Amino acid sequence: MSKCTGDIQAFYREVDRLVSCAVKNLPGQLACARGCSSCCIDDITVFAIEAENIRAHFPALLRDGVPHTRGACAFLDDRGACRIYLQRPYVCRTQGMPLRWHEQLESGDYVEMRDICQLNEPTAIPLEELSEECCWAIGPSEAELSAMQLTAAGNRCRIGLRSLFMHPSPDTD
């Protein structure tokens, strides 16, 4: 295993740990499960370091398999399950979570924004009232992943997931 692959594995373990902690604070409120793929959209790009991790773990799938039809993630199977779940990219590991981030207003002030998959919209506590511990903070992990990519390759190159397959699906241009 290369150092980059080891770094990305450690990063994924930490992201999974943090997501798990947040999910524990939302018992029964997240509907995400095997086959729930409404967040698994097409044209997702990942840093090259994540693409290399997928290539390292799934050479046969990428060589012999075909991507899912356009409109959904290339790595979904015919039942909507992820074919690379254990090595799925960062963005996939946090999908469905209540997300929070800060945006700067024209006044220069910052305001917290929140969003969540409509299938996971909390019913017990409104999204805007969830504690910070129940939400995934957008920014810190993305910055860490970007820094890993920069260290590994000297750039912030992103690669489309669909492009990892050697054989395009029949509906591909």
Say what the pTM is.
0.86
Q: Where are the domains of the chain?
A: 3-97+137-164
Closest residue by Cα to residue 92 from 45, 139, 137: 45
Task: Retrieve residue 58's tokens.
Answer: 């799934």
Residues 99-125: tens digit of each pLDDT = 999 999 999 999 999 998 887 776 667
The CA distance from 25 to 58, in Å, is: 34
Q: Angle at Cα 52 formed by Cα 49 and Cα 54, nearest 5°?
A: 115
Residues 39-91: tens digit of each pLDDT = 889 999 999 999 999 999 999 999 999 999 999 999 999 998 999 999 999 99
pLDDT of residue 1: 43
pLDDT of residue 133: 85
Helix 140-153 with 48-57: angle, nearest 10 deg:
80
pLDDT of residue 36: 78
